[in-house]
Amino acid sequence: MTKKTISVARELLASNRQAASAIRAELRARGILCVNLLSSPGSGKTTLLEALADRFRDRFRMAVIEGDIETERDAERIRAKGVPAWQITTGGACHLEARMIGKVLGDVPEAIDLLFIENVGNLVCPASYDLGEDLRLVLLSSPEGDDKPAKYPQAFLSADALVLTKADLLPYLPFDPARAAAEALSIKPGLKVFTVSALRGDGVDGLAGYLVEALERLRSGRA
C-alpha cells in the first residue's frame, strides 16, 4: 500500500462558469440582452417583470425563464401578459445553474430582444452562479428593511443594478431608500439604483430605459 498526496486545484464551479460563457456567447451573437433577477422570495420580481412587459409591449420583444422550487405560477402570470415564458422547477434546489438555462435556450424564439431570468427567490445562493447574463439586477423590497445590503454582500457585489421595489409602501414603513442605496454603494461603487413601484408604475420607465440602453450597447458592439 502506498500513500500519495495529489495536488488537484480544481474549481468546483468551473463547469457552471463554462456553461455560462457558452450561453453568453450564444445570446450575444443573437443580439439578445440577458438579465438575471436575484432577490428574496416575495420581493416583487414577477410583478416587476409584469410591469416591464407592459412598458415594452409593441416596442421590444421579451421572454422570461422562471426559476422556482415548485409550481408554474410565475410563468403563467408572465404568459398572461402575452410574453413567452418557461418555468424551471428545481424541485428543491436553491438557485438556478447555467446548464438549466442551456436546456431551455433552444426554445427561446429567434426574434427576441430581452431575455429575463427570474432566479429562485433567495438572496444568498444564486449570487454564486453565473447564468450567462449580461446584467444582474438585485431587488430589495421596502418591507425587507434597508439594512440588507451589508447582511448579504455577495448579492450586491455581483449586481450591476439595485432595484428598490414596493416604493408604494414607503409611507408606512421605516425603510429609508437613501440608506439602502448608500449601503449598497459602499459595497459596490457604481451600482445603478432604481426606486420603483411596479404596482403603480412609478420608476419603471427609468429601469426600462436602462435596459434598452444596455441592449443598444450590446448590439452596437456586435459588428
Partner 1 sequence: MHELSLIASVFDVLEEKAREHGATRVTAVVLKVGVMAGVVPDLLESAFDIYKKGTLAQTARLEIVVVPTKLRCPDCGGEAVREDGDFSCAGCGSRKVEIVEGRELVVERIELET
Q: Which residues bind partner 1 (CB under 8 A)?
A: 1-13, 15, 93-95, 124-125, 127-128, 150, 153-154, 157, 186-189
48 or 123: CB nearest partner 1: 123
* Choice between 14 and 29, CB closer to partner 1: 14
Distance in Å, CB of 129 to partner 1, minimum: 9
Least distance (Å) from partner 1 to the CB of residue 185? 8
CB of 149 to partner 1, least distance (A): 11
Alpha-carbon Rg of the chain, whole angstroms? 18
Nearer of residues 5 and 220 to partner 1, judged by Cβ:
5
Count Cα atoms within 13 angstroms, Cβ side, for 194.
Answer: 24
List, as one string, the DSSP characters of 68-112. ESS-SHHHHHHHTTT--EEEEE-TT-SS--HHHHHHHHTTS-SS-
Write down the least CB distance from residue 111 to partner 1, Å.
Answer: 35
CB contact at 8 A, 68 and 89: yes
> What contacts 135, CB < 8 A, 6 or more positions away?
33, 34, 35, 36, 160, 161, 211, 214
Residue 212 CA to residue 166 CA, distance in Å, equals 22
Closest C-alpha among 36, 19, 58, 62 to residue 163: 36
Q: How far apart are CA 98 and CA 113, in angstroms?
A: 20
Considering the complex, state which of residue 96 and residue 204 has its C-beta at the smaller distance from partner 1.
96
- Smallest gap from Cβ 124 to partner 1, in A, equals 6
Residue 13 CB, nearest approach to partner 1 (Å): 6
When the beta carbons of 82 and 189 are compared against partner 1, the nearer one is: 189
Residue 66 or 130 with smaller CB distance to partner 1 = 130
Amino acid at 35: V
Residue among 43, 91, 90, 44 at smallest CA distance from 65: 90
